[in-house]
Structure 1
Amino acid sequence: MKNEIVLKRLAIIKHLFRIGVEQSYQVETVAAFSILSFHDSIEMYLKLLAEEKNIKSDKLNFLDYWTQIPSLTLKESMRNLNARRVNIKHKGLLPSKSDIEISRVNAHDFFDQNTKTQFGIEFSEISLFSLISYENVRSQLEEAEKALNGNNFEDSIEKAAIAFHELLYTYENSKSDYLSNSPFFFGKDLTFQSSFHMGIREDRDMARFVDNVRDSLDGIQKAIKIISFGIDYKRFAKFKLLTPKVTRMQNGHHVSEIWRKKKWTKQNCQFCIDFVLDSALKLQEFDFDIAEIEEPRTFEPVFVEKESKAGKKAGNK
């Protein structure tokens, strides 16, 4: 059990580090705050390591860990990272682009060099997916990462798209029963409500109107659903542009439609995987079981006794 807890805490630390990595590639004013994420992830790592070695750490400063644990490496690099963090947080001085890049490399090197020695596992082998409670989503993301490691970018993007679709389906489906709509239901599917399916072809103006209304309502429904889940819509917009359309069949299988190839890169694939991971963790922040809220429904036959015509006449008198 202890090893599982340590691995989960290492996964959280790695997730925070990855947030810093993503921030570091954004515009310079936003990228500057990646240094705070890098520093926080390393500080969490050091505190976990101190616990594992039974070292009291409540009064230790950041650099004191290297004195208490001499086998730790990159002390001078971490001293510089700590100085950049102080400049941002306490002096309001933003780092240069080169400082941000150096911090990203140093943080990665710190985890890469020390994790195997201190915890007996390669940092690259720590799975963030262990934080996801939805099994189907987790398995698809594992496939996406496996494809990414094999430089199969198209397959990686496709698996990430399926994982996201499965995430929304699983979460929403767990919040409704077969008698009532989901609380995230914002209107019926309008896929087959086009002018073609409705047989409106003669009147072109009417056909155009029907199609425009359908497309508008469909877009509004999907946007509201994403926002209602608490998912960052701007990040979703980028994810949507990179991924194919996914349809979930009745048997649970998924069909993806790739109309044209995109300029998929390793960084774009990693963004898609991280986006699904972040979305899953966001949904898990507030999850609930409807069984804890709703009373089980029972169905008892209701018999209504009908009066005879003679009885009705007698009553009227």
Structure 2
Amino acid sequence: MKERHAAGQKVPDEFIKAMDYIDAAADGIEQLKVPLRGKLLELNKARVNFKHYGLSPERLDAGRLVSYVSHFFDEATPRFFGTSFESISLADLLADAAIRDRLKAANEALTDENFTEAMGLSAEVVELASASVMTSLNPSGALHPSLMSTRLKATLGAEVVDDLSRYITGLVKESNRAALMLALPVDVKHASRFEVLAPPVWVFRGDASYQKQLMVPAEFHTAENARFCVSFATEVSLAVDARMTIPLPPLGQQSADELA
């Protein structure tokens, strides 16, 4: 509506008036008018009945209305935006290329009914998103065996010290993940379910690889679980992205508001 103006009219903020405005701005060009107008009017009536009168449609009617929405997006998206609705992904909103590409791949695997791959890639998405936050908050990195004192190594032995450092690193990682899930606007029960379904992920130098051999048994690689994992990975990655994409000037040049 902001790109194509209807002469002598203001851009409206009401549903029906918005359709009228778009049709008027089309200036008689059919391909610029709102498609499926009759179905949209029926949808709007159902919306008004629910919002103002608490009336819900019957199950069959609800299914039909949902199909109207799907049909409208399929028709309107290429008409007004020059692309198919199926090509639009929330992943495109993500700034981090590695996370964005993996989330797209997880969605593609889900579409192809490769549920194992969808669950594994979702685990990689969450792991990389979590790591991006933790790396920013703790740039010094995780505990390394070389930081252990020589005296401790001499007393316990290098092998024991290595085992101890791995244990502590794993414990810190799990604690950080729990703290992050509490800090993000995600359902804790969903986070718990995801941790059960998602395989372990090996992260090295910014790359991630899920451990297929350590996944839950194959009978849990279902469409429902895969959809849940992809949905949760999308939710987490968008939440992390929202907290990570505001650029700051070099240290020492921030204003008081930016540091608050």
State the Cα distance separating 1:105 from its structure 2 match: 1.8
Match of 1:234 in 2: 189
| TM-score of the superposed pair, with normalisation by structure 1 | 0.57
Structure 2 residue corresponding to 1:139, chosen from 87, 92, 101? 101
Q: Which one is further off, 282-291 or 108-117?
A: 282-291
State the Cα distance separating 1:53 from its structure 2 match: 2.3
Deviations 1:64-107 (A, max 9, x none): 44444253222222112112211222223344433433332211
CA distance, structure 1, for counterparts of residue 210 and residue 241 of structure 2: 26
Aligned residues: 218
Aligned-residue RMSD, C-alpha = 3.6
Q: Which one is further off, 282-291 or 159-168?
A: 282-291
Mapped contact 2:197–2:216 kept (Cα < 8 A): no
Compare relative contact order (CA 8 Å, sep 6+) and give the higher one, 1 or 2. 2
| TM-score of the superposed pair, with normalisation by structure 2 | 0.68
Where structure 1 has 5 or more consecutive residues not aligned to the other structure, the ranges are 1-49, 182-196, 199-214, 297-317
Match of 2:237 in 1: 280
Distance 1:221 1:143, change over 3 A: closer
Amino acid across the alignment from 2:178: A
Amino acid across the alignment from 2:91: F
CA distance, structure 1, for counterparts of residue 62 and residue 193 of structure 2: 24
Amino acid across the alignment from 1:223: A
Match of 1:244 in 2: 199
State the Cα distance separating 1:159 from its structure 2 match: 0.8
State the Cα distance separating 1:172 from its structure 2 match: 1.8
Deviations 1:242-264 (A, max 9, x none): 32222324673424221411443
Mapped contact 1:63–1:75 kept (Cα < 8 A): no
Q: Does 1:156 align with 2:118?
A: yes
Mapped contact 1:148–1:156 kept (Cα < 8 A): yes
* Secondary structure class of the residue paired with 1:156: helix
Mapped contact 1:230–1:283 kept (Cα < 8 A): no
The structure with more radius of gyration: 1
Where structure 2 has 5 or more consecutive residues not aligned to the other structure, the ranges are 24-29, 144-158, 161-169, 254-260
Structure 1 residue corresponding to 2:3, chosen from 21, 29, 52? 52
Distance 1:273 1:52, change over 3 A: farther
CA distance, structure 2, for counterparts of residue 175 and residue 159 of structure 1: 25
Distance 1:218 1:61, change over 3 A: closer
* Secondary structure class of the residue paired with 1:254: strand
Match of 1:103 in 2: 65
* Larger helix percent: 2
* Secondary structure class of the residue paired with 2:244: coil
CA distance, structure 1, for counterparts of residue 250 and residue 142 of structure 2: 14
Structure 2 residue corresponding to 1:91, chosen from 46, 53, 61? 53
CA distance, structure 1, for counterparts of residue 223 and residue 250 of structure 2: 44
